[in-house]
Amino acid sequence: MNIGIPKERRPAEFRVGLTPPGVSLLAPAGHTCFVERGAGLGAGFSDEQYAEAGARIVYSAEEAWGRAQLVLKVSCPLDSELAMAPSGQVVMSIFALAGAHEGKLAVLKERGLTAIAYEEIRLEDGSFPVVKPLSQIGGRMAAQVVARLLQNNFGGKGILLGGVPGVPPAEVVILGAGVVGENAARSLAGSGAHVTLIDRDLARLQEVETCLPGRVVTLVAHAFNLEKACAYADAVVGAVHVPGQRAPVVLKRDLLRKMKPGAVFVDLSIDHGGCAETSRPTTHDSPTYVAEGILHFCVPNLPGAVARTATHAFLNAAWPYIQAVATLGAERATAEDEALAGAVVTWKGEVRNARVVRHETK
């Protein structure tokens, strides 16, 4: 099979759809990997490493897309990228259609593409194996982001995250106890912050308490608990996510107005639309803004800033599915793997994913 690995073109996206070790596994099996020049530089992989692994370096995105039967990407393809895809091509990527503009699905249909969304690969236990490592990374980055934003030189109130003897640590509230929230709690508590974790699922809170005994305060997400916790928080981390849907807005303006002036809000749900009424996407170059007296940080795709770690972790999880599609072809691979079949958003332009169908017909 001819496999294309184009350079990612979204701002501040430094990851890549396949590593040189991945190429070295595919090339001996008879697959031809067309890697766009410079595709791996952001993650620390040179063209020479790809070539040594058996890839063919191509010098334009048009060639990486146009010569491939299967394209491997990380972030949702831009419309300009999909315009380069020949009809019938298979594209494996994170599509995140719940947070994408309405025309994205229309482009997939119009181009007659088979789109396999990594974030829709779901196992019988309800877990999402391919995007789980990215959620873990995003959560664990919360500590370094919050610590930086609390500093005076980044717009904060000058609070040391872990405190010192005689001075208490920062009070950090996390909204959501999923994979992102748990990992945020782990990293923040490990940095010495006083952490309160809020979720509506009591069983999930009990699981986190078992994993982090005595290190995190847990609260059920009743309105009065949410208001009480946010009122004393130095920083709030939004980690709310409902698979296949836009993130629910749980932090309203009236609640933000009750927070400490100059407190920090980090919205890790921004990839899914954001969980605050005041959330809007920012960039790494201009990551913050102030709304209702609160310093907001709403940078999408936070794991993309640690591209080498994120690429390795992501592809460790994605590899079995990439190998299956490359070896068996998309039709047979999806027929033999129910989880992979459930991740097909469009098949040669026809919408297949049930959640996407429901979203499209609303």
Is 224 found in the same domain as 205?
A: yes
Is 80 found in the same domain as 206?
A: no
Give the pLDDT confidence of 185-211 residue by residue, as tens digits. Answer: 999 999 999 999 999 999 999 999 999
Is 339 found in the same domain as 218?
A: no
The DSSP string of 164-204 is BTTBPPPEEEEE--SHHHHHHHHHHHHTT-EEEEEES-HHH
What pLDDT is recorded for position 150?
97
- Count: domains in the chain: 2
Q: Domain for residue 353, yes or no? A: yes
pTM of the full structure: 0.90
Is 326 found in the same domain as 263?
A: no
For Cα atoms 34, 307, 243, give the angle at the middle one, nearest 5 degrees: 95
Is 149 found in the same domain as 113?
A: no
Q: Domain for residue 267, yes or no? A: yes
Give the pLDDT confidence of 313-354 residue by residue, as tens digits. Answer: 999 999 999 999 999 999 999 999 999 999 999 999 898 875
The answer to whether residues 359 and 143 touch, using CB atoms and an 8 Å cutoff, is: no
- The Cα-based distances of 263 to 53, 59, 75, 250 in angstroms read 49, 47, 31, 17
What pLDDT is recorded for position 349?
87
The single-letter DSSP state of residue 276 is: B
Q: Domain for residue 309, yes or no? A: no
Choose the final residue of a domain: 268, 300, 332.
300
Is 72 found in the same domain as 40?
A: yes
Q: Domain for residue 107, yes or no? A: yes
Is 117 found in the same domain as 144?
A: no
Is 276 found in the same domain as 170?
A: yes
Show the low-confidence residues of the chain (pLDDT under 70).
98-102, 354-362
Write the CATH number for 38. 3.40.50.720
Is 283 found in the same domain as 140?
A: yes
Nearest residue to 119 via CA among 90, 95, 87, 140:
95
Distance of CA 352 to the CA centre of its chain: 23
Instruction: For residue 281, report the phi and psi dihedrals to the nearest 5 degrees.
Output: -60, 140
Is 232 found in the same domain as 142?
A: yes
What pLDDT is recorded for position 355?
62
The DSSP string of 50-102 is HHHHT-EEESSHHHHHHT-SEEE-SSPPPHHHHTTSPTT-EEEE---TTTS-T
Is 331 found in the same domain as 296?
A: no
At position 10, the amino acid (one-letter code) is: R
Choose the final residue of a domain: 249, 271, 300.
300
Residue numbers of the domain that contains 176: 132-300
What pLDDT is recorded for position 160?
97
What pLDDT is recorded for position 362?
45
User: Residue 5 and residue 342: Cα distance in Å, rounded?
Assistant: 23
Q: Domain for residue 305, yes or no? A: no
Q: Domain for residue 285, yes or no? A: yes
Within 10 angstroms of residue 38's Cβ, the number of other Cβ atoms is 14
